[in-house]
Structure 1
Amino acid sequence: MRVLLTGGLLAGAFACGGAMAQDVLIANTKVHTAKAGGGVLEDYDVLVRDGRVAAIGRGLVFEGIPMIDGTGMWLTPALFGGITGIGIEEVSAEEATNDAALALGDGAKDMVVRPEFDVTLAYNPDSIVLPVARVEGIGFTLLSAGSRPGGSIIGGQGGVMRLDGSPDPVGPRTLFLSLGGGAAGLTGTSRAGQWMLLDQLVDEVRGRIPAESGGALLTPAGRSTLARYFSGNGRVVVRMDRAADIRQLLRWSQRHGVRIAIAGGAEAWRLAPELARANVPVFVDSLVNLPNNFDQLAATLENAARLRAAGVQVGFTQSGDASHNARKVRQLAGNAVANGLPWEDGLAGLTRVPAETFGVADHVGTIEVGKTADLVLWSGDPLDVANTARHVWLGGRAMPMRSRQTELRDRYLRAEPSAEAGALPRAYPARVE
């Protein structure tokens, strides 16, 4: 039998959603599995048991299982929030709350390269930034490691975090590099110096430069870390935009057997066939359509569509304040679709593509029987920002649909002016008659 939960009963059933997984039947909804070639399942049911997807079908009936009527709504996997600092960056302007980057050395003059630096060790699952992203349907993110002024072009390692409150990353680590004009100041002001230094690092890792030599850049831990990535056992995310730099990156990575992905790639469409042949995913900000610098002169709103048409796997990430505005990643995918990207590829860029790229497809990215139930029930098309997430489940647990932002909103909406001094919340404007 189906037990339908609505209104207050539904709220009560999931009030303790953060504590344990619940069995639930999501019925009569449009299911977008995000599987390659999976298509759309109209008016289907999805059964969640013990934190996993137990069944997908029509007319499913299970004795005593609570049911949510999804009529008119869309069900998708929980979305990828992009490459962010969620959980390692609380207040961008307050350095004590920002653990995303390492500052060492004095630029190219005294560069200290520490690829063993791992930002996941600073992750805070209690960060107030997590619920802000989660109530918008964001279920996982790739923590980014970067360099502050005085650092190196190798920022360190990050990893995929599920935003379910668990403290540890899932899947393998990812190494971050910054190349191109924006990072030239770290390599003697010339981007040519970047390839010189990268080749030196390869020589160190492969023993052609003795560790005890005066010119060595790496610690023993750093050599061990880079040896893994430089032998193809790990993904390297490279931040760059200019087509000429991307061409050099393809040559360098193929020469040394390094598995890369590109973040940014404003001019990547110019090398789309080469990127497709090399199986290099590109994570774009599809709102970059005007050059913010000389590395983006060929930026276009059709970047994602042109890349995908050539066979490149396309994902999405923001180039601005990605940590505190992760919800805007849906807007990136929606704008890419508006400019020629097929809708299914827009959803894949927020689900399956990042999951496969960063080695966590066993955990997130698609809706499949037996897979972890990281799901979002939307009021409509999730790539249209007019629609909202109505329910979010991570590991089968119903996430509370509240955050610091919603609490502040509700506080001020509920407040009523009063003649009593101090009756209004701070900064609440007096009502103008």
Structure 2
Amino acid sequence: MIRSYFLAGLLLIETAAAQLVIKGELLHTMTGDLEPIKNGVVVCGADGKISAVGKQGEVELPEGAKVIEASVVTPGIIDARSSIGLSGLLNLPRHDQEQLDHTSPVQPELRAFDAYNGRDPLVKWVRDLGITTIHTGHAPGALVAGQTMVVKTDVASIVSPDDTLLPLAMVAVSLSKNQNNGQVSKAPGTRAKSMAVLRSELVKAREHARKAEDADAEKTPEPNLKLDILAAVLRKETPLLIQANRHHDITAAIRLQQEFGFDLVLEGASEAYLVLDEIKASGCPVLVHPTMARSFGDRRNMTFKMAAELHKAGIPFAFQSGFEAYVPKTRVVLFEAGAAAAHGLPPKQTLAACTIRPAEILGLADYIGSLEVGKDADLALFEGDPLETVTRCSGVVIGGKLRSSEPH
């Protein structure tokens, strides 16, 4: 990793090889009962992992370590769903908008990392606000828009899939009467047609997988980028991320899961409060719509209390920044979480829903999401309550290295 480079005109600085020690008046480890540690300390090892966590005075500090103090320290914030890096800051369709291909309604073969630009100013902007990991990829707007991935916000260029945490996280699907937004072909045009097309493609993928597993080599089908990805969905290697906001779209997604047996993650779920029992019975988690999203179209019946309702029902969920059709192309997941806390979600559960809960949903809880020995040393430092929109993020640590830029 190079020691410094220019990112959108601002200098990104890494510390030298000295270990980092982070002290916080309040340390949210997001472990166990989610209770914070007063006057806590986190020691970042030279390997980029957390080597010690505890109360100040009870943890041995490495000699020569760089010590940074903050009012509040949390795990690095995780954005559970966005199109950051594919949709750019400037909102120029021919230059920095790669989140949606308009040529076909079904394109599961489109890889997120092939379009990702880690040097886009939008990536730095969210990193400076405490977001260290993003689940990003192709945006809603087509029946099957493409793939998503998980990457840290300090990755400027993806040279190989190993530069990501998950090169293929999920396959993004949208269920809506107008999921094409007039941008692709007219088909599928209705909800019934959308479901028929999805079922048809999954049936083809199932048959493709059956032939591929046939012992008779002469019957082995040729590789098919589209069907190979959908076959991975059917094998439960890759979840299907279905954006469904209306209650009947949510139940349609659940029916599809029951028919084909794939792992389902619901996205949006604006009317989930109408079908909480059905969602809970399905066992699928929810990436809840941005709390302050505009309430029109399929989100016209959304509520600020959606996260609180999911929490009361015992349904696992996480916060997302989502995708916006206008500049600056993304919301800030931490601000959306703060709005949910103001509308009935307990603060500890709110912070969990943008740290450890998305890590669990993404299958990455062994690496990120909480401050525990052996996990990646990703931390966000704040001057006060991180759920208050006026609170400044004073520092970001990713992989045990301090990332800082000119004040913003």
Cα separation, 2, equivalents of 1:137 and 1:104: 36
Does the 8 Å contact 2:25/2:72 carry over to 1?
yes
Does the 8 Å contact 1:302/1:340 carry over to 2?
yes
Cα separation, 2, equivalents of 1:142 and 1:337: 22
Which residue is equivalent to 2:363?
359
Secondary structure in 2 aligned to 1:170? Answer: coil
Which of residues 262, 269, 276 in structure 2 aligns to 1:258? 262
Q: CA deviation at 1:259?
A: 1.0
Q: Does 1:157 align with 2:161?
A: no
Q: CA deviation at 1:220?
A: 1.3
Does the 8 Å contact 1:21/1:395 carry over to 2?
no
What's the Cα RMSD here?
2.7
Q: CA deviation at 1:16?
A: 7.7
Does the 8 Å contact 2:81/2:322 carry over to 1?
no
Q: CA deviation at 1:297?
A: 4.3
Secondary structure in 2 aligned to 1:97? Answer: coil
Q: CA deviation at 1:161?
A: 1.1
Which residue is equivalent to 1:316?
319
Which residue is equivalent to 1:418?
none
Does the 8 Å contact 2:85/2:122 carry over to 1?
yes
Q: CA deviation at 1:347?
A: 0.8
Cα separation, 1, equivalents of 2:354 and 2:371: 13
> Which runs of structure 2 are paired with 1:222-371 in the superposition (5 Å)?
222-288=226-292, 291-293=295-297, 295-321=298-324, 324=328, 326=330, 328-371=332-375
Does the 8 Å contact 2:247/2:272 carry over to 1?
yes
Q: CA deviation at 1:36?
A: 4.5
> Which runs of structure 2 are paired with 1:147-226 in the superposition (5 Å)?
152-165=142-155, 167=158, 168-171=163-166, 172-183=168-179, 186-207=186-207, 220-226=224-230
Does the 8 Å contact 1:291/1:297 carry over to 2?
yes
Does the 8 Å contact 1:286/1:303 carry over to 2?
no
Cα separation, 2, equivalents of 1:188 and 1:330: 35
Secondary structure in 2 aligned to 1:183? Answer: coil
- Percent of aligned positions with the same letter in both sequences? 26
1:308 maps to a residue whose letter is: H
- Farther off after superposition, 272-281 or 313-322: 313-322
Structure 1: runs of 5 or more not aligned = 1-14, 106-110, 212-217, 407-433
Cα separation, 1, equivalents of 2:16 and 2:259: 49
> Which runs of structure 2 are paired with 1:30-41 in the superposition (5 Å)?
30-41=26-37
Q: Does 1:46 align with 2:45?
A: no
Does the 8 Å contact 2:323/2:331 carry over to 1?
no
**Which structure has the bigger radius of gyration?**
1
Cα separation, 2, equivalents of 1:133 and 1:258: 32
Cα distance, 1:197–1:80 mapped onto 2, change above 3 Å:
same
Cα separation, 1, equivalents of 2:12 and 2:226: 44
Secondary structure in 2 aligned to 1:26? Answer: strand
Q: Deviations over 1:231-284 (max 9, x none)?
A: 221122111200111012112112211111122111012222222232212122
Q: Deviations over 1:69-96 (max 9, x none)?
A: 33xx111011123422222222323323
Q: Does 1:85 align with 2:104?
A: no
Cα separation, 2, equivalents of 1:208 and 1:327: 39
Which residue is equivalent to 1:128?
121
Q: CA deviation at 1:319?
A: 4.4
Q: CA deviation at 1:41?
A: 1.1
Cα separation, 2, equivalents of 1:180 and 1:220: 27
Which residue is equivalent to 1:398?
402
Cα separation, 2, equivalents of 1:45 and 1:402: 26
Which residue is equivalent to 2:216?
none
Does the 8 Å contact 2:368/2:378 carry over to 1?
yes
Cα separation, 2, equivalents of 1:228 and 1:320: 26
Count of residue correspondences: 372
TM-score of the pair, normalised by structure 2? 0.83
> Which runs of structure 2 are paired with 1:62-141 in the superposition (5 Å)?
62=61, 63-70=63-70, 73-90=71-88, 91-105=90-104, 113-141=106-134
Cα separation, 2, equivalents of 1:292 and 1:16: 39
Cα separation, 1, equivalents of 2:228 and 2:294: 41
Cα separation, 1, equivalents of 2:361 and 2:15: 30
Does the 8 Å contact 2:244/2:268 carry over to 1?
yes
Cα separation, 2, equivalents of 1:66 and 1:353: 30
Q: Deviations over 1:332-377 (max 9, x none)?
A: 1111111111111111111112212122223321111111110011
Q: Deviations over 1:13-42 (max 9, x none)?
A: xx9843655412222531111235232111
Q: Deviations over 1:134-175 (max 9, x none)?
A: 111011111121476xxx511111101100125232124310
- Farther off after superposition, 187-196 or 364-373: 187-196
Q: CA deviation at 1:321?
A: 2.8
2:277 maps to a residue whose letter is: P
Cα distance, 1:208–1:386 mapped onto 2, change above 3 Å:
closer
